[in-house]
Each structure stands twice: as structure tokens, then as C-alpha cells.
Structure 1
Amino acid sequence: MQTADNLQKQIDQFIQSSIELQHSTHGRLPLTLADTDWPSACYQESPANTESHQVWQPIQQNSYAEDMFDRLEEALGYKVHPDIRTWYSSYWSDPIPAQCSEGDLSLLFIWSEKDCERLRGNLIGHLLNKQKQRHPPSIFFACTEPDGDHYLSIDNDSGEVWLELPGRPAIRKIAGSLSEFLTTLTPLPIPDTE
């Protein structure tokens, strides 16, 4: 049986591997567009910072997103799978590229406290659409690259990882759990944002 602690350790290991790859590949952390309207703890002090770009890295959360999930569950009228709560409550981060047996993907995270509300709105819309189409509830956590048409989600009842296409029933099961899926990932270098 997977526990939140085991899943958190796997997420931590993946993030650490991603940061180490970034340093070995580029000799520094990635750059993103500096946006004063979207402040984040991810921004880092660096000589590489400019007026338009800032160095960033994933930063552990202090469970700030937990409140967002409490409000999401209240709006939906049911509980969100604990793996999704752990995933989105672990790190502040821009998307992180990775590779799995299905190809390249971007792992989705929350950039900042302000970004929590955007995610909550997106999740409510996604889950209400699932309900309307009479599809089992699932919550996305990654999208395929380079097209981004497909996404990976966690089935809210079973915790299984599925490949999905918006507006369609789930296509195929990818892994029995998020924890199992994370063991199959290989981090890719994080590109600078232009």
C-alpha cells in the first residue's frame, strides 16, 4: 500500500534528479520570464538574472495548497484522491520536462499561491465536464509534449495513472499508481523560457 510519505519521497527524488541534471547540462538553474504580476518563491538570486529573466528552481511548499483542495472538495461534494493532494502540495514550480515509455511530457505544478486559484478553477471545470460526460472523475498532472493534446491523469477512485484526451473517455492505463509511474520517469533538461 502506497503512503503519502513514500510518494513524497519519490517526488523529492525526482525533483532532486531534475535539478542535478540541470546543473550538469547547463551549469546553472533554468531562466524564466520575470513577471512581477506572478511572484513566486521559485525565483532565485543569481548573477544570471536580468530585467526580463530570472533564475528559478522548484521549491518545497509548506502545504499551502491543502486549503485549496479543501475548498475544491467542498465545491465538488467529494474527496480528491490523496495522491493528487500530495502531488500539487509538494512543490512550487513551473512545469518540469520528463520522459516516460509514452514519450516526452511536462509535469504540472503550482507556480505560486496566486496560481492555486487558477488551478482550482481549471480542476473544477475539468471535473464538471467529466461529470457531464459521465466519465469517471480524474485529475490531470502532466501533459504530453510536444503537442500537449493528451494528458496524464490520476483516476480519482483507483489512483491509477491514465492517458486521456480532453472530452473523451480515458484511453489506456499507464501505471497502477502515481508512485509506480514516477519510477519510470527520466528527467529532461528544463529549457529557458524565451
Structure 2
Amino acid sequence: MQISDTLENFVTKWRAYHNDPLPSMPFDPQWPSLCFDANDPQAGEILNWQPTKQTPVSDMFIRLGEALDTKIHPDIAEYFSCYWSDHLNARAPAGDLVLLQVWNEEDLERLRANFIGHAMVKAKQKQPLSLFFACTEPDDGMLTVRNDDGSIWLEYPGKKPVKQIADNLCDFINQLSPR
């Protein structure tokens, strides 16, 4: 199964869980997103939002790989190239987490900058490259995809990975439920 299919299954469950009502937030014209379904929204207007498929897919992960002089694992690239969305709350067997998402193109570029910073720290610590996709709650851990093999790890900033959580991102997402 591909990441896009796995994530689509989770988003379908997430939408059903949050359908009545959908989550909402004030509209900020400086931070627009296709997640809003509104014609001519006004600044500060409270609008419902939901994950929206990305089309066309950005080339950000190709550029990230060029900046880091490595090929980015396809699972992490596909994960962040599926939807425009605010972060999604989820529950795993081991506890609560937040699946990180990108809200718009500018947010995707911020993610790229954060990945480069994270990669520089990993290189300085002589650790394998990993790229984060979720945060654990309430302990502020990061769930990462190890770039060389696609395995999922629990990490804390500036420390060695703590433990392997899953063999791959599809297996991990398949065990989640929305919250």
C-alpha cells in the first residue's frame, strides 16, 4: 500500500470523526489555504477547514534532497505531498500524537528549512538522517522516518533515537485512530 492511500484512509476517518462540526479557525489573508471552502473570506472570519488534496505536487523534496546531497526517502516525501491541512490529532496504541501537516506553499518551505536544520544537527551528531512527521503528547517527542530504510523512530531533540516504533510509515499510520 502507498502512503497516499494509507493517509487518505486516515483522513477519511478523521473527517468522519470531526464532521459535526468541522474544525474552524479565523481566516488570515496573510496565511491562506485551500483547506478553507469559502468564497471571498474576510480577515478574522471564523471558517471551517478540512484536509484538501495537494495538486499539483510540489518539487520541494527534490530541492531538499539537492540541498542535503541525498535522496529523500519516498515515504516522507509522499506523506507531506498528499494534503494541505492543519495538524491532525491522532491516537496510537502507545499514546496521543499530532500528525504534522502543511497548510500552504509557504508552510512547505518552512518545513524544508526545518528539515535542513534537523539534518545539520543529525550530521553534527554523526547520526543517520531522519525526518520528522509527528509529535508525541504530552512529552514532546518526535516521530521520524529514518531516511536510509524508512523505519519509524521515537526521538527527542538533540538526542539519539530512543526506539523503533514501526517498520514503515504505512504500518504506523494504519494503527492510528483520529482524536
Q: Tell me the TM-score normalised to structure 1 length.
A: 0.87
Structure 1 counterpart of 2:158: 167
Q: Provide the aligned C-alpha RMSD in A.
A: 1.6
Pair 1:96 & 2:88 matched? yes
Pair 1:17 & 2:13 matched? yes
Output the CA distance in 2 between the equivalents of 1:122 and 1:91: 19
Structure 1 counterpart of 2:148: 157
Pair 1:34 & 2:27 matched? yes
Q: Deviation at 1:35?
A: 1.3
Structure 1 counterpart of 2:75: 83
Output the CA distance in 1 between the equivalents of 2:158 and 2:26: 32
Report 1:170-185 matches (<5 A). Answer: 170-185=161-176
Paired AA for residue 179 in structure 1: C
Aligned residues: 177
Output the CA distance in 1 between the equivalents of 2:25 and 2:125: 37
* Residue 63 to residue 50, structure 1, CA distance change in 2 (3 Å): closer
Report 1:97-176 matches (<5 A). Answer: 97-147=89-139, 149-176=140-167
Q: Deviation at 1:117?
A: 1.1
Paired AA for residue 165 in structure 1: Y
Report SS of the residue matched to 2:102: coil
Unaligned runs of 5+ in 2: none
Output the CA distance in 2 between the equivalents of 1:137 and 1:102: 24
Paired AA for residue 163 in structure 1: L
Pair 1:74 & 2:66 matched? yes
CA contact (8 A) 2:90 2:97 kept: yes
CA contact (8 A) 2:154 2:161 kept: yes
Q: Percent identity?
A: 43
Output the CA distance in 2 between the equivalents of 1:29 and 1:77: 41
Q: Deviation at 1:50?
A: 8.3
Unaligned runs of 5+ in 1: 189-194
* Residue 8 to residue 61, structure 1, CA distance change in 2 (3 Å): same
Paired AA for residue 123 in structure 1: F
Report SS of the residue matched to 1:44: coil
Runs of 4+ in 1 over 6 A off after TM superposition: none
Report SS of the residue matched to 2:76: helix
